[in-house]
Structure 1
Amino acid sequence: MPADLIDALKDAIAAGDWHRALPLLRARAELEPDHPRHWANLASVAPRTGTDPVPALRRAVLLAPDAPGYLNDLGAADRDGMTAAARLLVLAPLHGPATIMRALKAFGDGKIRLARSLLSKVLVAAPDTAEACYLLAQATEQDGMISRAVGLYRTVRVLDPADRQGAGRALARLGAGPLEAAFTPAHVKMVFDGYAENFDTHLTGRLKYSAPESLLRLARACGAVAEATSVLSVLDIGCGTGLAGAAFRPHCRHLTGIDLSGEMIRRAEAKGIYDRLLTGEVTTILQQERETYTLIIAADVTSYIGDLTTFLATVAVRLAVDGTLLLTALEPAPGKAPGIGPDGAHMHDLAMLRRCADEAGLSLKTYERGAMREEAGQPLATLFVAFTKRRQTGV
């Protein structure tokens, strides 16, 4: 490949400009078609541009059929990945990713004990594999051995203190861990980075997500938004791909979005909705911010927050006096205490929200009950709440 094209390729990759890098990688693979690494590199960039990586991976496997790495990548990308996994296990019987893939298939087929057996083999070969330990904990819980599952979830927390897998969430759900530690930033980031590609269609289609529209109606009802005027400055916390931003954009002059997931932010940026986008953990970012906002939106954010006191206190600092905070909260069933709900998310009742908000210098403006989305075909009881920042707080 000519030196100038190689330099251009390096520049594109360094800049994260995958749409520019993809044709250069394809050109390199076609110029030297017998090099499997070129096809594998092409496949690694393809998903970032919405291109199917499977054809390039199949070419890499054809050129190097005994290379476990290419088979593993193909197994992960191809819907018929079990064929690749089976060949992998012939080449390398203790290959971790392939064994995990087989275990997931067994799990999905209801063969829980087979899944446990396969995952146990992975841990014999590689005891520090947090993913396998987490999946074994899930299979063990499904098999009814709760105390043993709790021990395995705790092991995951030791293997991976950042808890990308979400063991803290499982422990909180089982009453064996603190609610405040249920969702770590690393876990939330991993979940939504993986969810970003299908987020809009799955959430609004299959789950019938309607939080942005419900919050906009609430904003109109309480006077936070009016048709004749624009809100000066709006902050969308947990902006995701921009669903709430799109609903509120016509009513604000300046719109900022914050999200923990870089993949979500990338998709929000592509829509051109926001004036400014920030990537990172929300309380950390807001503690560093100097801007104040007339309106702050937090649609389906408290579902992932156990420590409401710290969250609301941090948000209140960035909210202008007499400004409005709009948020949603999954509501526990009557007689049930706040905690982790059946869908694995935090539930907060109105009394808890009011108490934490009051400590932050926020007063309840109005609220409504409804459902912001469905889970397993059933509406999730949701509080749609508007708070205002009191003048006398000195915050």
Structure 2
Amino acid sequence: MQAHQADELDTAEKLYREILKLQPMQPDALHYLGVLCHQCGRSDEAVELIGKALSITPRHPDAHNNLGNVHKECDRPLEAEACYRRALECGPTHYNALSNLAVVLEIQDRLDDAFNAYTALLQQAPQFAPGHYLLGLFLRNHAQNVEHLEQSAECFRTAFEIDPRNVRALEALGVSLYALKRHEEAAQVYRDWLVREPENPVPRHMLAACGGADAPARADDDYVRNVFDGFAESFDEQLLKNLGYRAPQVLTDALTQVLEAPQSRLDVLDAGCGTGLCAPLIRPWARQLTGVDLSGGMVEKARLRGGYDTLAVAELTAYLEAQPAAYDVVLSADTLVYFGDLLPVLRASRAALRPDGWVAFTLEALDGELDRSELSSSGRYRHSRNYVERALLQTGFDDIRIVPDTLRKEAGEPVRGWVVLARRDSSDVRGEAE
């Protein structure tokens, strides 16, 4: 268990299996080996092992909870719900199981049941900081009125007061305050945070996002890495299941309109691959599918999901520049929202494409006819249609297609975006700007 907790998974697995050679039905070894197998992407084996442990110790709430986690992360919410309910039958004060139950109820869009579960959790455990944080996310994600946003802000404030290490609650507090148009309060949250942690890139970026400092041309690498390494464990759960995240699907659907029938002939780069949500969608077209992301935590999740031939942890523009004429398709689902100035990354994308290759990406939409981008309070950039079209023409793309679509929900409202496709002009780049 010490090796397991230290993330020395090979050592831990060897030792668990040695124990099971000596005592094949040792329940703790079965249970924790199952947890380890799930961490390594062997979830079917995990279900079998934890099930064996529970056949020996059927009233073990931790094992029921961990089996629920395996089902939840394998997109089996009904099975997960049953496991969490059994954990609570065995241990009524198992706060993690109750918290997880609320999450899977939310995933199933049973919002009243989820709210009741979060409320019950905080009645039982008023000092359980993760419960306040999760209820804050729930209220903001599904906000129907301003009171829900106000309540979310109070939840985030309480979560941070209970556990000052939970800086994600502090970031979320600033976002909720800005959504309430309490802009100066939001800025002050980030200023106070910077006083405590002057080198932390998150409050520095978010202060700019709410108008308290000049916006950078693109999000700092340290900011992106920090946010997504911390977000890796819950990314799919929060975006895909709770916020109706659609960017990978709408992007690959758009690509099917310009690509030939899938015959595994193309070299494809998933630029900003995250946890690998695009891989199963684009895989039928790919001879070689490469994923690159700045966050090592996200790349590890993509590795466990599978589907890629190669994965790399790298900054996107530099990676593209180092791959001349290597790809037939470069696709990027909700990665360029962290670039205000698109020219450098589009120029690098063109260089990485073969003649007549396609770039495909999503952006958040900025209203109006002006040619501009802006950093929004979410920490992501929005771009006007005219800006996107001009940037693509300027960096050597033609056959430009920009279609509006809804990418996700935020604070109960749809996030409008652009689904963008463009083909590499086979001639030399015209009129590039420095």
1:296 aligns with 2:329: yes
Shift of 1:18: 1.6
Does residue 151 (structure 1) correspond to residue 188 (structure 2)? The answer is yes
TM-score by length of 2: 0.66
Q: Percent identity?
A: 17
CA distance in 1, matches of 2:103, 2:397: 48
1:88-119 residue CA offsets vs partner (Å, 9 max, x unmatched): 44444332123334445655364244444444
Deviations 1:245-268 (A, max 9, x none): 53x844x64443445645873697
Q: Deviations over 1:228-257 (max 9, x none)?
A: 9996633342454337953x844x644434
Q: How many residues align?
A: 373
Paired with 1:74 and 1:155, the residues of 2 have a C-alpha distance of: 35
In structure 2, give the amino acid aligned to 1:242.
C
Provide the residue aligned with 1:18 in structure 2. Answer: 43
Change (3 A) 1:171 1:381: same
Aligned equivalents of 2:390 and 2:280: distance in 1?
Answer: 23
Q: Report if the CA contact (8 A) 2:369-2:386 is conserved.
A: no
In structure 1, give the amino acid aligned to 2:62. R
Q: Does 1:265 align with 2:290?
A: no
| 1:17-36 paired onto structure 2 within 5 Å | 17-36=42-61
Report what 2:290 is aligned to.
Answer: 256
Mapped to 2, the partners of 1:122 and 1:228 lie a distance apart of 48
Q: CA deviation at 1:317?
A: 5.2
Query: Residues 68-87 of structure 1: matches in 2 within 5 Å?
Result: 68-79=95-106, 80-87=113-120
Stretch of structure 1 that moved more, 54-63 or 149-158: 149-158
Q: What is the TM-score when the length of structure 1 is the normalising length?
A: 0.71
Partners of 1:89 and 1:98 within 8 A in 2 = yes
Structure 1 residue 140 corresponds to structure 2 residue 177? yes
Aligned runs of 1:114-193 on 2, under 5 Å? 114-155=151-192, 161=200, 163=202, 168=205, 171-172=208-209, 174=211, 176-179=213-216, 180-181=218-219, 184-188=224-228
3-state secondary structure, aligned to 2:372: coil
Per the alignment, do residues 86 and 377 of structure 1 end up closer, same or farther by CA in structure 2, a change over 3 Å counting?
closer
Partner Cα separation in structure 2 for residue 382 and residue 14 of structure 1: 34
Q: Distance in 1 between matches of 2:90 and 2:179?
A: 41
Q: Deviations over 1:46-90 (max 9, x none)?
A: 223333323222222232323444444444444434445444444
Query: Is 1:241–1:264's contact at 8 Å kept on the other side of the alignment?
Result: no
Point out where structure 2 has 5 or more consecutive residues left out of the alignment: 1-18, 107-112
**Contact 1:212–1:244, Cα closer than 8 Å, also in 2:** no
Secondary structure of the equivalent of 1:33? coil
* Aligned Cα root-mean-square deviation (Å): 4.6
Letter of the 2:401 counterpart:
E
- SS of residue paired to 1:147: helix
Q: Does 1:37 align with 2:62?
A: yes
Q: Residue 53 in 1 paired to residue 80 in 2?
A: yes
The SS at the match of 1:150 is helix
Question: 2:169 and 2:116 mapped to 1: Cα distance?
Answer: 20
Residue of structure 1 in register with 2:236 after alignment: 196
Q: In structure 1, which of residues 232, 235, 238 is the aligned counterpart of residue 269 of structure 2?
A: 235
Distance (whole Å) between structure 2 residues aligned to residue 228 and residue 77 of structure 1: 35
Q: CA deviation at 1:373?
A: 4.2
Q: Which residue of 1 aligns with 2:382?
A: 346
Q: 1:222 — aligned with what? A: none
- Once residues 320 and 153 of structure 2 are traced to their aligned partners in structure 1, the CA distance between those partners, rounded to angstroms, is 44
Secondary structure at the residue paired with 1:53? Answer: helix
